[in-house]
Structure formats: C-alpha cells, structure tokens
Amino acid sequence: MAESKKKSVPPSALHKLPAGTSESQGPLTDLLSPEEMEKLSALQIVDLIVGKLPPRHPSILDMVYLRERVAGLEEMNYQAREAIEKLDAIVEKLRSPAFRVGTFLMPIESDKAHVCISGTDYVCRIDPQIPLSSLQVGQRVLCNEAFAVVQGLGFDRNGPIVRVDELLSDGRLRIGQETGLMPLVLQRSSLLAKEKLRPGLEVRLDVNQRVALEVVGVGKRVERSLETVTELPWGAIGGQDEAVQAIRDTIELPILHRDLFKRFEHSVPKGFLLYGPPGCGKTLLGKATAYNLRQQIKTHTGVDRPEFFLHVKGPEILNMWVGESERQVRDLFAQCRERASEGALAFLFVDEAESILGTRRAGRYHSILSTLVPMFCTEMDGLEPLQNVVVILASNRADLIDPAILRPGRIDRKIKVRRPDQAGSQRIYEIYLRESLPLAEPKTDLAAAVAQAQFARTPENQFLEVVYRSGKKDILHRGDLASGAIIAAIVERAKSLAIKRSIETKMPTTLTREDLLKAFESEYAENDLFPSTDLTEDWLKLTDFDPDNVVKLGPVKPRKNESLGAGIV
C-alpha cells in the first residue's frame, strides 16, 4: 500500500539522532534500544541510514534504489497479509454451523419468541436489531447456533394441505387425519387471522404443521353417495342372469355362509369388476348388489344393516394438484371404513375405473396413475375380505385396468355385463312396461313385438359397418347395440307419445304397440348414447371389438333410419 512507502521514522527514533550527523556516528543499534529497533520497518531503517550519510555521499543514490526495492517488498507483504485475512474470514464463515429455520409461533416479552424448529419448541432470544413487530405468526425465522432469531424469512411456500374439519370458538382449526396424522388443532397464521374460514376448506400448513398459512382450495370431497339405495330386487334387472348369478356367488354366498367358507379355507374377494358396454346395467347391478345383500342379511340374521353406497366416477378423482387424487382415494376408503365401523354395509362403486386404475396409458395423467394404482392396492389390502367394505369397479374397458388391481385377494372376480339379446331385451321391456300402466295389450305381447322389431335382421335395422384388419366387412344391426338404457328410453318415449295423443284427442288413451315401434325408430335415430361423429374410436367404445382387429367402425350410410325416424317425436 502507498502508505507504507510514506511511513516516516518515528519521532522517538529521530530525536536520538543529532542534526547534521555524519558518517563518524556509530551504528543505529548503538543509538536505539533493541525494542525501538524492533518497532521500525525496513523502510524506516533505510531512511535513518540515509539520514546519517553526509550530503552528496556516493552511497545516497544506492540507498534511494534500495529504498524503492524495500518499499516494493513491503507493499507486496501488506497485500498478501490482507488477502490471507480475507480468506481466513471466508473459511471461518464456511466452517460455522448452519442456521436453523423455524416457524415463528408467538412473541414472548419484547425480546423472546416461541419458535418451532424441526418439530421441537424453543423459546428463542430475538436479535435486538429485529423489531418484534416485524415478525408475523407462521412466518419462517432464521436461528443461529444459540437458537437466537437473527433474521425474518417470510412465509414458507410449501407444506402439506389438509382439510378443515371444525372451527373452534377461539378461531383455531381442527383438522382431520387424512395426512396420516392424528387429528390436530392448529392456529392461524397472521395471513389468515381475519379470514372467514369454514369446515371443508383446504389449507396449507407450515412445514412444522403447527400453523395454517393459506387457503388453497374448496376441498371438494368426492362424495356421490346414495345413503339409501332404492328398492331394487334382482328381478328389476333384465337380461343379465349370468352376471347376477356371478355377483351372488361372489358376494352373497361368502357373507351369508361365512363359517362354511372359513372351514373350506376358500378365498373370498374384496370386490368385483363389472365390465361391458355402456348403458347395460353395471351401475344398476352395483346398486342391486347393495340392496339385495341388505335384504338377505336381514332374512338370514334378523339384523338390518343399512347400506352405504358411495358412487364415484373415476375421472372425477383425477385432479391436477399433485397428491390431491391420492388424497381423494384415501378419503373414499376412509368414508367407507367409517360407515362400516358404524355397522353399515359399505360399498365403494368406482365407475369408469380404467381412468384412474388403468395401465398402458401415457400422457397427461401418467404420473398420477403411477401413484394411484399402488395406493389403491394398499387401501384394498387393508380391508378385511367382505367384513366391512365391498369395492365394485365398473369399466367399458376391462383390458385397460392395471393387473395389480385384479390380483387374488383384491378384485379377482371379473364379471361380464353383456348387451341384452332378444330374450333379454324383451324381459327388460316387460320390466318397464309395468302392469300398473295403461297398456293397450298384455305387457308380454307389447314387449315381444318391440323386441322382435328391434332384433329383426332387416335392411332398416342395419346400423353399423365394421371393416376388419383382414379386409372382411360386417354389418351390425340395431339389435346388436341394444342396451337396458336404450330400452328404458324407448319406453319413456312411447309413454310421452301416448300422453300427447291423450292431450290432443282429449280422450283417455293407452300405450300401444305403434307407440313403442315409433319410439324405437326415433330412439335409434336421435339417441345421445350413440356418438354424433363418424369417428371409429368413439364407436368402438360401444362394442366389444378388439380395437387392434378393426380398421373402421361407423354408422351405415345413408342411415336408413333417418327417413323413418325424423320428426316422429
């Protein structure tokens, strides 16, 4: 540093050297004590020596040169020392222990605070430089080695999400156990102090799970429950005898003859999968299972166990929030277990199950599926077979359901729900053409007539054209696409035709064969169960064809039924 060059000889040393001293004077060590010599820098010593030389002494120029060199060395020394000091400070900093981050819970006196660090509570001193008023409940604070609060860090941006179960009178929140924790009581952060909260809302907690920081969602509980299933004896379902028998064997027998099954060590499933085309009664069969089981148990044991039927659609569970879908599934099982423990017969019916329990699906929901399937399996494994909860899955595409779900001990019974054939369709017509209705003919005759028309292999009934990969073509007739839903809708249309006629003629009328036939025509022409597009993909969903074998599947053109059906109803 430049300063070192200018450093002059200290006065205490100079005054010992008489003015105008000459070369006759003795060495400096005689003039100054060893301590004084020690205090002098090399540059100062050079200056003293020069001062002792007589004017114009030949060595003066050498001494000036020496002085320059010494000054340079001193400067270098000085800079090296400074650099070492800086490095020392850095090393010191790097070797010091990490700061801890805690959640500020509340102030205690003006210089102390209640802080939670890694789940443990501390009363920490606050650095006097931090005004207490600048710290807010729920925010993060930096604590040093002595656990003193040395800095405020603002609010955490991450943390678990939980649903508020109850508001306590003092404003604190009680939350449930969906995070796998015991139920907790939490305080609100300063951010939520004045917020209007209500049970069901979802809030985000600080990482220590002591304070509710912010509201993140309305907390939609997937709840499409039918507390009581309406009267639905097996006889109210037509054309599904095989499926009904399979369900009864799977569910009713093991429950009604528990001891027998135990004696034979016969494995009992925890539920079953219903698969088949839409509108053919999968949901109906699910509800009927619940209704009939309750009746059977009542008859056998005299105990009436109310049924709890939780009906959810797979796509409703998919949620863009990470972890939310899993929470919903856990919640569904929790609801069922809760009700079962209260003595109910609990059913979890998952419609369109392939959307959440599917395999071979990439794309948007892939990451959700990869966690949902194992989670669903874990929940299933936690159930006692048929003791408390019966899980029913329904799907149009059983081939897409992950095999892990369908392993023994989980849902290893797959029950096919077929499209009704002519006899089955006739039976369904009979179910909907109740005797209590004003019918023009006996219901069996009406049902037989319309079913026959529906299944006739006439050109008018040609409906879909299939082109197979082999090049072969096939025509599907309307009957090939019959379903319980279509039949129920045809009967409803026929009823409205009869009602209209009654209004127009001002005469009491009955439901006739013609009403049914007209309704049948228009139902196939306008039915919204059929896709409105020509897309093979959409039409494939209605059939059992293996998509790999079919090149094209679409409505027969021109649709014969258009001219017949238009403007009838």
Strand (E) or helix (H) holding 100: strand 100-108
**DSSP letters for 5-64:** HHPPPPHHHHTTS-TT--TTS--HHHHS-HHHHHHS-HHHHHHHHHHHSPTT-TTHHHHH
d(CA 373, CA 380): 11
The 476-495 contact track toward ligand ADP, x by CB under 6 A, reads --------xx--x-------
User: For ligand ADP, what does the binding mask look like between residues 442 and 481, x meaning CB under 6 A?
Assistant: ----------------------------------------
Question: 95: alpha, beta or left, given left = phi > 0 and alpha = psi -120 to 50?
Answer: alpha
Q: What stretch of H or E contains 372? A: helix 366-381
Closer residue to ligand ADP, CB minimum distance, 140 or 282? 282
Q: Is 229 in the site for ligand ADP (CB under 6 A)?
A: no
Min. distance of Cβ 423 from ligand ADP in angstroms? 12
Hey, what's the torsion of the CAs at 91, 95, 96, 99, to 10 degrees? 110
Site for ligand ADP contains 314 (CB under 6 A):
no
Phi then psi for residue 293, to 5 deg, are -65, -45
Residue 543 binds to ligand ADP (criterion: CB under 6 A): no
126 vs 417, beta carbon nearer ligand ADP: 417
Interface pick for ligand ADP out of 431, 491, 525, 553 (rule CB under 6 A):
431
| Residues that contact ligand ADP, how many (by CB under 6 A) | 17
- Give the long-range contacts of residues 122-128, CB within 8 A, separation 24 or more: 122/147, 124/148, 124/149, 125/149, 127/151
Which parts of 391-420 interact with ligand ADP (CB under 6 A)?
A: 394
Q: Which one of residues 219, 279, 358, 385 is an interface residue with ligand ADP (CB under 6 A)?
A: 279
Cα–Cα distance measured from residue 174 to residue 188, given in angstroms and rounded to the nearest whole number = 11
Restricting to residues 488-527, which ones interact with ligand ADP according to CB under 6 A?
488
Rounded to a whole number of angstroms, the distance between the first and last alpha carbons of the chain is: 104
x-marked contacts with ligand ADP along 232-271 as a string, rule CB under 6 A: -----xxxx-------------------------------
| Other residues' Cβ atoms within 10 Å of the Cβ of residue 5 | 14
Nearer to ligand ADP, 258 or 313 (CB): 313
Strand order of the β-sheet with 389-395 is 225-226, 307-313, 345-351, 389-395, 271-275, 414-416
Closest CB 160 distance from ligand ADP, rounded Å? 36
In the bound complex, which residue of the shown chain has the CB atom lying closest to ligand ADP? Answer: 484
Nearest distance in Å: CB 489, ligand ADP: 8
CB of 311 to ligand ADP, least distance (A): 10
In whole angstroms, the minimum distance from the beta carbon of 436 to ligand ADP comes to: 17
One residue of 113, 284, 297, 390 binding ligand ADP per CB under 6 A: 284
Given a contact cutoff of 8 angstroms between Cβ atoms, the answer to whether 183 and 177 are in contact is: yes
> Where do contacts with ligand ADP occur on this chain (CB under 6 A)?
237-240, 278-284, 394, 428, 431, 484-485, 488
